[in-house]
Amino acid sequence: MEEKITIVGAGSWGSGLARIVSDNGYRVMMYDIDPMIVNEINTNHTNKSKLPTGCLNENVSATTDMAKAIEFGDIIVLVVPTAVIRRALRSINQVITAKKLFVNASKGIEPDTYKRVSEIVSEEISSEYIEGFVALSGPSHAEEVIKQMLTLVTAASPNLEHAQKVQRIFSNQSYFRVYTVCDLIGVELCSSLKNIIAIAAGIIAGLGYGDNTRAALIARGLVEIARIAKALGAEEKTIYGLAGLGDLVVTCTSLHSRNYQAGYKIGSGKDLEQALAEMTMVVEGARSAIAAHQIIKKHNIYAPIIEAVYDIIYHKQNPQDRISEMMQYDLKEE
Ligand SMILES: NC(=O)c1ccc[n+]([C@@H]2O[C@H](COP(=O)([O-])OP(=O)(O)OC[C@H]3O[C@@H](n4cnc5c(N)ncnc54)[C@H](O)[C@@H]3O)[C@@H](O)[C@H]2O)c1
3-class secondary structure per residue, 124-192: HCCHHHEEEEEEEECCCCHHHHCCCCCEEEEEECCCHHHHHHHHHHHCCCCCEEEEEECCHHHHHHHHH
Yes or no: is domain 186-326 CATH 1.10.1040.10? yes
Say what the pTM is: 0.97
Instruction: Tell me, in angstroms, the distance from the centre of ligand 1 to residue 141's CA.
Output: 12
> Is there an atom of ligand 1 within 6 Å of 34 CB?
yes
Catalytic residue among 194, 237, 270, 297: 194
Does 197 contact ligand 1 (Cβ within 6 A)? Answer: no
pLDDT digits (tens, 9 = 90+) for 280-323: 777 899 999 999 999 999 999 999 999 999 999 999 999 999 99
Question: Mean pLDDT throughout 80-87?
Answer: 96
Residue ranges per structural domain of the chain = 4-182, 186-326
Give the model's pLDDT for residue 291: 96
Q: Is the pLDDT of residue 60 over 80?
A: yes
Percent of the chain at pLDDT above 70? 100
What would the pLDDT profile of 18-50 be if each residue is shown by its tens digit?
999 999 999 999 999 999 999 999 999 999 999
Q: Is the CB of 80 inside a 6 Å radius of any atom of ligand 1?
A: yes
19 Cα–ligand 1 center, Å: 15
Tally of CA atoms within 13 A in the half-sphere of 106 that contains its CB: 33
User: What is the pLDDT, as a whole number, of residue 255?
Assistant: 86
What b/e sequence results for 250-289 when a residue is b if at least 16 CB atoms lie within 10 Å of its CB, and e otherwise? Answer: bbbbbeebbbbbbbbbbbeebebeebbeeeebbbbbbbbb
Task: Using most ligand atoms within 8 A of CB, pick from 37, 189, 282 the residue to mutate for ligand 1.
Answer: 282
Ligand 1: distance of its center to the CA of 14 in Å? 7
Instruction: Report, as an integer, the average pLDDT of 61-89.
Output: 97
Q: Assess contact for 77 and 5: CB atoms under 8 A.
A: yes
- Is 270 catalytic? The answer is no
**Residue 275: predicted pLDDT:** 80
Q: pLDDT band for 270, please (50, 70, 90 cuts).
A: confident
For strand 151-156 and strand 130-137, is the pairing parallel, antiparallel, or unpaired?
antiparallel
Q: Mean per-residue pLDDT for 56-60?
A: 93
pLDDT in tens, 130-163: 999 999 999 999 999 999 999 999 999 999 999 9
Predicted confidence band at 250 (pLDDT cuts at 50, 70, 90)?
very high
Mean confidence (pLDDT) of the chain = 96
236-246 pLDDT, tens digit each = 999 999 999 99
Q: Residue 9: CB within 6 Å of ligand 1?
A: yes
Contact 5, 169 (CB under 8 A): yes
* Site to substitute for ligand 1 among 12, 89, 141, most atoms within 8 A of C-beta: 12
Indicate the range of 85-89, 110-114, 287-291 predicted with least confidence.
Answer: 110-114
Give 104's strand partners: 78, 135
Closest residue to atom 41 of ligand 1, CA basis: 106
Architecture of domain 4-182: 3-Layer(aba) Sandwich (3.40)
pLDDT at 1 over 80: no
